[in-house]
Each structure stands twice: as C-alpha cells, then as structure tokens.
Structure 1
Amino acid sequence: MQYFFNTWGSLEKKLLRARHILLCADFDGTITPIKPRPKEAKLGEGIRLLLRKISKRRPFIVGIISGRALKDIEEKVGVKGLIFAGNHGLEIAYKKKNFIYPAAKRYVPLISQIARSLKKRLAPFSGAILEEKNLSLSLHYRLVKREKLPRLKEIFFRIIRPYLAAQKIKLTYGKKVWEVRPPIEWDKGRAVLWLTQRLGPGRAFTIYIGDDATDEDAFRAVNKIGGISIRVGRKRGSSARYYLRNTKDAQRFFRRIGSLKK
C-alpha cells in the first residue's frame, strides 16, 4: 500500500487521459470524521463545496456510497447532481431514478422483526444505538461501557444466531458497529461496478475512497477494472492500493482532484 501523494505524478497522467472519471467515496470516516452518534456526523462546508465543484466539471461523475440509508446520506451531503448509494449499495439514486436491488426487498419484514427484538433488550445498555435502515440495521456500541459490552454482545448474537444459522441474514462488522444485512451477493463493490456499466463498458476510469471493512469489496472491484483504490488510514491486509492518513488528508485529495486541468 503506497501513500497516495507519493505517487501523484503518475496517477495524474492517468486521470488526464481519462474520458470519464467516476469518483466514488464513502461518507463516515472518509469525507467526514466518525462521530460517537451517527446523527451527529456533519459534512464540512469546505468538502461540500469541493464535491459540488468537482461534480460540475468534466470528466467527473461523483458518487457517495454509504452504509447509511439512502435518504439519510442524501440529506447529510446536501449536494444535488451526485450519485448516491445507501445501505452499502442496495439502494441507488442515479439520474433522478431510484434503484433498489430486487432481492433485498423481501427481507424488509425480517430486518424489522429483528430490530423489534433488539429494541426490547437494549434498555439496560446506555449508549447502544440501533440504526434502522429499512433494508438493513446497524447496532453501534461505541458509547457502551466496556464492562457491559460482553453482555450486549451475548444478547445481540442470541437474537440473530437463528437467522444466521438459517442463512436468512448476513452479519458484517464495521468500526464499533454490527450490521445485519440481507444474505445476498450485493455490496459496495458490485454497486460501483453497476455504476460503471451504466456509463458504458470501458468508458469510465474509476476511483474509490473509503475507510472501513465494507469498503474492501469496492477496493477489490475497482482494482479488477484498473481503477484507483484508496483507503483512509493505512491498514495491513487491505485491498486498497493507496492510502491517505485521515479525513483531513482526504480533503487534500479532493482539493487536488478539483484542481486538475485537462
């Protein structure tokens, strides 16, 4: 994994040759710092202006690919004209149309049932935050006291274990969060590939920037099509080819991208 700005010269040449550039980024931990409570995350005005500026320039097409619900991420970013993907790509807003991965819809009642079961048991755990996102759910435990975490984990897995055993759900792990998702072969990587195909085979040079475990699918997908995969925060074993140190470094990345002259 190389530091992105150490290789900027050669990467810049690739970007200048590209006819179309699909620039996709995660939200939390990538273009804005992770907050203890998901609702507290706010996009800085500086990065918002950069996203707006880049999206209005050729050859860029800008997408935000998040684990948040689609409506939530659209409101958090607040920039018109971008592509938005929520629930790790299960729902996508593209060209004024909303796409929901068909197989995901039938799991909505099941996800809701699990959420109800969890809510009944979360009262003793101050700081546990259940994020219901229709197509998936997340249980954030960043604010839960350390001595209570083992008990919370025990209850959580007792509730979801039967569904996991029956392959009715999929469990993924993020930064201080457990995520319950439909057990289908769709993720951020497949969402990014879906978008590149909409632009036409071989037409878009793709960049993906993210920071968490669920972004690894996108890193691998982008690598396969010869794009640029960037992780915010260096991590051994990541599929990303390049890294940035933190969200401030990511803002520097967007400034550099925004200053490209073709």
Structure 2
Amino acid sequence: MDGAIELPPPPPLVRLMEKRAHALFLDFDGTLVDIAPTPGGIAVPDRLADRLRALSQRLDGRLALVTGRSLEDLAGHCPIDGIACAGSHGAARRDAEGRPLGAAAQPLPDAVFEALHQGARDLGVVLEAKTHGAALHFRSDPERAAQAHAFAADLAGRHALAVKQGKAVVEITQAGADKGGAVREFLKHPPFVGAVPIFVGDDVTDEDGMAACNDAGGFGVLVGDRSPTVARYRLPNVSSVYEWLSL
C-alpha cells in the first residue's frame, strides 16, 4: 500500500451483527462491481439487486448504496426499488420506499454543462453528465489527467462548485455534496438511527463516508490498495466484498 500501514480484514459481519445493530453504506463502482473502461461498460453480477434486498432484510433495512452515479443511472444498471440510496456523491438521497431525505439536490447550471461539453471535446476525454453533477473520464488516455484536473478546477472555481478526484476521473458537483453528508443524513432517520455505521468503498470520494462513520462510532472498509485512507480495515477486491457480505 505504498508504504502505508497494512490494514487487517474486517471482523466477520455476522459476528458484528450479533453484538450490536450495524448499518452498511456501500459504494457501487469498484466495490460491488469491477471498474470498467467506461461508466456504461460495467458488468453487474446476476440478481445483484435481489441479493442486496436480502442483505438489507438481514440488517432490518439498515443498508444504503452511496454512489457517485446519479440515482437514475444506478437504477439502469441495478434496480434499486426497496433499497435506500444516495446518488451523485450523496447529493440526492432517498429511503427504501423512494422518499427523499434532506434538502433537494440542485443540478449544475446550464452554463457549466455547456462548458463541460466543449471542454470534453477539446481535451478528448469522456463526459458523463449526471443529474446533479458531471464527470470527466480519462481512463483510456491517462496523459490527459493533468489537463482534465486543471480544466475542472478552473471551471468549478468560477462557479463556486466542488471538484472531486477519483480513479481516472475528475468530477464537478455542488459544494457540500459528499458521501459523508449522505451518511450523516441517513443516520438521522429510522432504521439507521443508533446503529454502528460501516462504509465500504474503494475510491478517494469514499473517504468522506468513512470519516463520517468514524465520527459516529463506526468504521470504514477500504476495497483495494489505495493510500492514504481513514479506513480501519481492508478487503482486497470486489469478490472479497461479496464474501464478507455473504452476497
């Protein structure tokens, strides 16, 4: 892990659940599905939604997906009916019944989307437009990373927006929209109230969710070898996440 302290695997989930009520907050890409060259190229395991709903029932509903994808995009890959979710890095939140939680998320201004479309064309990177944000992907051309980051930082600075960095991607979101905010909002509402929160994720943007869980007496589980991290435990890959969750 680039010289970082080696993290142990998390205790068995079954054993944790025997002691206290726990809540799970799960990232999607890189955690439940392997990263793909393009956002639409992911391979979703068979019956993933059904398996997640069964896991949620085992946790008495204390499970939420917290993803950088918009909720609409997530639903196109994995039907999310009956599962609490937060999309666009936590900006859009809804409970398992589909009811919104917290303040409504705001979309990016039209001028920002116009600039992003032009910038993506000029840079030769892939633009992923989301309901409440946008992402520039450069996985197919890593040499564009510095230019994409500089463009996003300049654009965000001119419109009082936030920039989030991930694996071969840079994103622009509304200021204050992060996965930690999503975790804190969920913990205000049943059935999450009073539970020990666990955040499982692989990317830099998941650190906010892990930090929120740490603050609430829980912990984070890092998927992969990225460092530094505020996670307490580590799982090596997506398949190990499935094994730990008994999915």
Q: Smaller-chain TM-score range?
A: 0.7 to 0.9
The DSSP-based 3-state class of the residue aligned with 2:35 is coil
Shift in Å, 1:201:
8.1
The separation in 2 between residues aligned to 1:236 and 1:121, in whole angstroms, is: 30
Letter in 1 for 2:232: R
Shift in Å, 1:51:
1.2
Deviation per CA, 1:93-150: give whole Å up to 9, x if none.
2132124634x52x532xx322212322433555x2101113111000111263xx26
Deviation per CA, 1:205-260: give whole Å up to 9, x if none.
222100000100111111122223101013332000000001111111111xx6xx
Q: Percent identity over the alignment?
A: 25
Correspondence list, 1:238-253, <5 A: 238-253=229-244
For the 8 Å contact 2:60–2:191, the answer to whether it is kept is no
Residues 1:215 and 1:13: Cα distance change in structure 2 (over 3 Å)? same
Shift in Å, 1:168:
0.9
Residues 1:122 and 1:162: Cα distance change in structure 2 (over 3 Å)? closer
For the 8 Å contact 1:21–1:59, the answer to whether it is kept is no
Correspondence list, 1:7-156, <5 A: 7-8=11-12, 12-18=14-20, 20-45=21-46, 47-94=48-95, 95-99=97-101, 101-102=103-104, 104-105=105-106, 108-109=108-109, 112-123=110-121, 125-126=123-124, 128-144=125-141, 146=143, 149=144, 153-154=146-147
The separation in 2 between residues aligned to 1:155 and 1:201, in whole angstroms, is: 38
The separation in 2 between residues aligned to 1:197 and 1:242, in whole angstroms, is: 25
Letter in 1 for 2:164: T
Letter in 2 for 1:253: W
Alignment root-mean-square deviation, CA: 2.5
**Structure whose alpha-carbon radius of gyration is higher:** 1
The separation in 1 between residues aligned to 2:44 and 2:51, in whole angstroms, is: 11
The DSSP-based 3-state class of the residue aligned with 2:234 is strand
Residues 1:43 and 1:155: Cα distance change in structure 2 (over 3 Å)? closer
The separation in 2 between residues aligned to 1:143 and 1:46, in whole angstroms, is: 29
For the 8 Å contact 1:125–1:144, the answer to whether it is kept is no
Answering whether residue 224 of structure 2 is matched by residue 233 of structure 1, we say: yes
Q: TM-score, normalised by structure 1?
A: 0.81
Residues 1:157 and 1:3: Cα distance change in structure 2 (over 3 Å)? same
Shift in Å, 1:22:
1.8
The separation in 2 between residues aligned to 1:172 and 1:138, in whole angstroms, is: 9
* One of 179, 192, 195 as aligned partner of 1:188: 179
Residues 1:158 and 1:187: Cα distance change in structure 2 (over 3 Å)? closer
The separation in 1 between residues aligned to 2:60 and 2:174, in whole angstroms, is: 35
Deviation per CA, 1:126-184: give whole Å up to 9, x if none.
5x2101113111000111263xx26xx447635751641x5611111000001111123
Answering whether residue 152 of structure 2 is matched by residue 179 of structure 1, we say: no
The DSSP-based 3-state class of the residue aligned with 2:100 is strand
Residues 1:96 and 1:141: Cα distance change in structure 2 (over 3 Å)? same
> Greater share of helix residues, 1 or 2?
1
The DSSP-based 3-state class of the residue aligned with 1:78 is coil
- The runs of 5 or more residues in structure 2 that have no matched partner are 1-5
Residues 1:201 and 1:99: Cα distance change in structure 2 (over 3 Å)? closer
Match of 1:161 in 2: 154
The DSSP-based 3-state class of the residue aligned with 1:98 is coil
The separation in 1 between residues aligned to 2:133 and 2:150, in whole angstroms, is: 16
